[in-house]
Structure 1
Amino acid sequence: MGLFSRSNKIEKPKVLLELRSPNCPITAIVEQDNRTAYFYLFGDNDDFGVKSCWIRNLSKAPEEIEVKLMEKGVPPMLTKEFCKFPEGQESLSEKNLEIVWLEEGDGAALLENGEILCIIPSWGGDEGFLGYARDCTGQGNFAWELSEDNEMRKRVNNAVSFIKEWDRDENPFQSLQPKILNYYEDIFGESEKYYAIDNSEWPPKGLYVYEGEEKIVFATVAVSLRPQPKIEMYYEDPSKVNRIELGIILRLGLTNDEVNNVASLISGITAIPWDYVTFVGEGHTVEFQTIVSEKFKYAVLTNKLKLLPQMNVPAFGDSQTNFLWVVPVSDREWAVMKESGSKVILDKLDTIGEEIFSFERQEVV
């Protein structure tokens, strides 16, 4: 008869719901067999991997962890000690379920008739924590209790509101874009060039380009609509650094092709946080291989150089927007930053004045 009798045969899990993140290369899936239901996040890259959170047991909870079943790849039931309903609950019905992605795009919640069943935040899968579940009590092996005062409830509600805002007559982009453009034009001047840099994907974002008498300014528009992934794992107050806009100032003299190339590279940097489920911030370095210069293949992101304008871009939501200037650096400068941190090179760049705007400048190492 095999390992299991007919009465307790474990069925193959059925996928009830599946939804791709609107921002990140991650897919959320709800699976259920005849014993238990789980919520999963599957990342396209190995760094993210697979994250899971127990939702509920459908039959009587075991006293101990089902180690032997886990070794066979069978999703385990939550033990009785941590079950709010130790006798089990009804099977989940697909028609009552909804997946809501958090605004960052790297975490998600599962709702049943509008009520939160479970949440996998960005730190799910770290140090024994998998996610929060409404029907768990205490800190179980496969889920932790989702208490009424859990801050994640507010985050999920904010995400639901953010999604609904895109159906209004004036969506978030239509509201934020003119504010940012007006701000840039007040500081630098009225621009005749504006690029859409979203590749026709949601959410919209753009690039302001202003050619002055001596310099050309590039600055992104509405990248800050989305908070960056993963940042809350490293900062106590993510709201100060999780939304970004980027810019670069260069000396005049670029050809149209070179302007378009720089615009394309800036656009590429704005996609890094969501494409790679990471974040960019002060002192971080990125690839920046332009057709303008062979020597400067990288860039450092900063707002610490004295000559660079200190920007106070109109913010979206409760966060402030962290404006980072893109400053090209050479292979050798990049190597020093990688070895010793960015400050060493930034301090030296601060001593060369307006040369920081030139691809012809001397290296500072």
Structure 2
Amino acid sequence: MAQTQILLDETSPYRSRRVIVEYDTHTTAAYLLDPRGQVRVPVWLANHEIAPETSDPSGLYAGRAPLMPAAYTKHPQGRAPLNASRLRVVWFEEGDGVALLDEEGLLAIIPGWAEADRGLPGYSRDAIGRSAYAWALDDVAAQLWPRVVHAEAYWSWRAAPGAWRSVQRSVFNHLRTVGPAGHYWDVSDGHDPLIRVSERPPTPDRPYTVLSTVGMCGQRMPTLDRYMADTSAYARIELALATTAPAHLAARIFRWLGTFPWRAVTWFGPGHSIKWLDNGEDSPLRGNHAAVLLVSDPSVLAGPEWAPPPDLSGLTFHGDPVNWLWVVPITRPEHLFAKEHDAETLIAKLAAEGRSWILG
């Protein structure tokens, strides 16, 4: 058996995906892995010997790349090995997709919507048509190349001095309408994305504290392009929580919730419910809650009529609107109810029961 060489091995900035390019003298293939090392999406890159008429693709999921059948490769006689020193990676801003480039330009793209289990592999420059190993990059290069250009520009911006400060300044200035700032906590784990929490203490016109994340809008959320063509209306968010509990305790919920979309490779939208992650930090806050419900308009729930939820609409970042979603803790039966029915029905049920949108 030919010895496998790793030509490239790189982890995404959010540490939720890893891409490996392997060469075994017969073929070269790329693998998009999850944090557990499981292959999420394999994509064939090149044959290095004469292509067979047919072959078995099952080895792709075990890290054994088969030869691409002759009808689906531009080089049925095989091609020279790739130059590892010229390979480079461009992660999409969302962190769920990746482009591979070499001295000739685009080599392959594994977009966020690729799902090998559903027969959607990545795109390869040497591929022709669609096979279980790869789809032709030529068919989508014009569509996806702007994504690669945007991604390179985004990470260049992120690396520049003052990039994070510009995110912070935009959100802080927007939160001035809520009231004077109080404490400010770092709830990230030392890796991208950087997330902070701003406290807006009670005022004479508002008997509750408002806690808001600062920084979630600095990067688009993953996987949205699996569900919609134009993702801009939902791509950027911040989270808010109204509470009468001690602010430093309530803020701990954002330790896991703030980075969740990029760590779990998912997205948050109005009506989404998320299982509460087990951890000791926010156990005093958790009580009997098992999940959180995200709502865009919490005013449908109970609360002081003279102090309605602050209107946080109007902020944009990098051309996209920023949506504030309010965090409402819910119990396990309520979480199951939301899954069995829908969020709108659950919210109506909570409103009928007099549930407050303010965490006490």
Please give the residue correspondences for 1:79-158 in structure 2 after superposition, counting only pairs within 5 Å: 79-113=69-103, 115-124=105-114, 125-147=116-138, 149-158=141-150
1:166 aligns with 2:158: yes
Per the TM alignment, residue 229 of structure 1 is displaced from its structure 2 partner at its CA by: 1.9
Per the TM alignment, residue 97 of structure 1 is displaced from its structure 2 partner at its CA by: 0.6
Residues 197 and 207 in structure 1, CA contact (< 8 A), matched pair in contact too: yes
1:54-110 deviation digits (Å, cap 9, x = unpaired)? 111122222222579879974211122121222222111111111221112122111
Look up the match of 1:234: 227
1:260 aligns with 2:248: yes
Per the TM alignment, residue 170 of structure 1 is displaced from its structure 2 partner at its CA by: 3.0
- Alignment-mate amino acid for residue 319 of structure 1: D
Alpha carbons of structure 1 residues 168 and 277: separation in structure 2 relative to 1, 3 Å: closer
Look up the match of 2:185: 195
Query: Which of 298, 309, 315 does residue 291 from structure 2 map onto?
Result: 298
Look up the match of 1:248: 241
Query: Which of 273, 277, 282 does residue 270 from structure 2 map onto?
Result: 282
Residues 47 and 67 in structure 2, CA contact (< 8 A), matched pair in contact too: yes
Alpha-carbon distance in structure 1 between the residues aligned to 2:319 and 2:74: 35
Query: Which of 189, 197, 218 does residue 207 from structure 1 map onto?
Result: 197
Runs of 4+ in 1 over 6 A off after TM superposition: 67-73
Which 10-residue stretch deviates more, 88-97 or 286-295? 286-295
Please give the residue correspondences for 1:17-96 in structure 2 after superposition, counting only pairs within 5 Å: 17-45=8-36, 49-66=39-56, 74-96=64-86
Look up the match of 1:356: 357
Per the TM alignment, residue 300 of structure 1 is displaced from its structure 2 partner at its CA by: 0.8
Structure 1 unaligned blocks of 5 or more? 1-9, 360-365
Alpha-carbon distance in structure 2 between the residues aligned to 1:356 and 1:232: 31
1:223 aligns with 2:216: yes
Q: What is the RMSD of the two structures over their aligned residues, measured on CA atoms? A: 2.7
- Alignment-mate amino acid for residue 165 of structure 1: W
Identity %: 27
Per the TM alignment, residue 19 of structure 1 is displaced from its structure 2 partner at its CA by: 0.5
- Alignment-mate amino acid for residue 267 of structure 1: R
Alpha carbons of structure 1 residues 104 and 328: separation in structure 2 relative to 1, 3 Å: same
Alpha carbons of structure 1 residues 315 and 92: separation in structure 2 relative to 1, 3 Å: same
Residues 21 and 30 in structure 2, CA contact (< 8 A), matched pair in contact too: yes
Look up the match of 1:362: none
Q: Secondary structure at the match of 1:240?
A: coil
Count of residues paired in the alignment:
342
Per the TM alignment, residue 111 of structure 1 is displaced from its structure 2 partner at its CA by: 0.8
Residues 305 and 350 in structure 1, CA contact (< 8 A), matched pair in contact too: no
1:125-164 deviation digits (Å, cap 9, x = unpaired)? 1432211011212213311111265422211221111111
Alpha-carbon distance in structure 1 between the residues aligned to 2:7 and 2:345: 53
Residues 116 and 134 in structure 1, CA contact (< 8 A), matched pair in contact too: yes
Per the TM alignment, residue 352 of structure 1 is displaced from its structure 2 partner at its CA by: 7.4
Alpha-carbon distance in structure 2 between the residues aligned to 1:68 and 1:188: 56
Look up the match of 1:363: none
- Alignment-mate amino acid for residue 264 of structure 2: Y
Look up the match of 1:344: 345
Per the TM alignment, residue 353 of structure 1 is displaced from its structure 2 partner at its CA by: 7.6
Per the TM alignment, residue 15 of structure 1 is displaced from its structure 2 partner at its CA by: 0.6
- Superposition TM-score, scaled by structure 2 size: 0.85
Structure 2 unaligned blocks of 5 or more? 277-281, 300-307
Q: Secondary structure at the match of 1:65?
A: coil
Q: Secondary structure at the match of 2:232?
A: helix
Residues 243 and 250 in structure 2, CA contact (< 8 A), matched pair in contact too: no
Per the TM alignment, residue 195 of structure 1 is displaced from its structure 2 partner at its CA by: 1.2
1:148-194 deviation digits (Å, cap 9, x = unpaired)? 654222112211111111332432x2212101101001x21120311
Alpha-carbon distance in structure 2 between the residues aligned to 1:23 and 1:113: 27
Alpha carbons of structure 1 residues 195 and 318: separation in structure 2 relative to 1, 3 Å: same
Q: Secondary structure at the match of 1:178?
A: helix
Which 10-residue stretch deviates more, 271-280 or 63-72? 63-72
Q: Secondary structure at the match of 2:261?
A: helix
